[in-house]
Amino acid sequence: MEQNTLKRIALGSSVLVLALGAISQMQAQSRNPYPDMAALDRYLMPDRNAEIALARSAAPDSISHDAKVLVLGPHGYETAVEGKNGFVCMVERGWMAPFDNPEFWNPKIRGPLCFNPPAARSILPMTYKRTEMVLAGQSKAQIMEGIATFAKKELPALEPGAFTYMLSKEAYLTDRDDHNMAHLMFYTPVMDKAVWGADLPKSPIMLNPQFAREGIDVFLVLTGMWSDGTLAPVNN
């Protein structure tokens, strides 16, 4: 009888472990509603003109009007409008976020931005590369490995003065609280964020670890102004 009792206890313990494991997995999935890539068409904008307008809204018209404009198609980003001033405007998707961001695969993300010429030459290639790997059906782990190799062997050297405008009222950057903010992004070699006073109370500057794995810091500077010149919230 004692042996049967021990067997029942062991069996019960095994069931409990399995149950707890299943609960833990369900809780993890509930915390991250975007564990995998959604169907491709959910990331695409069917109205090409709407995507062009959204991309241009990232910067003041005096800049975006003569910028090159890219739109996302089923095979990657393609040129919709040729530019004249060296700036490049486009709408990024969630997979340009840091790899540990739970909204990496969020199909609702629409991040309009305009690269200045140095950023278009030295940062935009990473957007092309990540998007290429995503559309090829690679996993997040494969993308992480592939982009690391790309950054070491193929990515052009970071140019001084590289930055982007992200001033669109229509951006959707996260599901959390206010889903948007007007800001500029400055790209630098990895450095102590204290040099910028980033992430300190009431500071308008934040460090975004978007490209930390590639040896690039991204400093977000709140502007308090949308691309149309109207006031934007600056609390962070």
**Average pLDDT value for residue range 175-204:** 95
pTM (two decimals): 0.86
Nearest Cα to Cα of residue 37 among 118, 140, 111, 120: 140
**Of the ranges 51-60, 63-72, 73-82, 169-178, which one carries the lowest mean pLDDT score?**
169-178
> b/e per residue, 10-29, with b = 16+ CB within 10 A?
eeeeeeeeeeeeeeeeeeee
Domain parsing of the chain, residue ranges: 1-31, 40-222
> Is there a contact between 57 and 169 (Cβ–Cβ < 8 Å)?
yes
Better pLDDT: 177 or 197: 197
**Could you read off the pLDDT of 7-50 as tens digits, one per residue?**
443 334 443 333 434 434 444 445 789 999 999 999 999 999 99
Query: Looking at this protein, which amino acid is placed at residue 200?
Result: L
Residue 177: pLDDT band by 50, 70, 90 thresholds? confident
Q: Residue 111 and residue 49: Cα distance in Å, rounded?
A: 16
Identify the residue whose tokens are 């948007």: 180
**Average pLDDT value for residue range 60-89:** 98
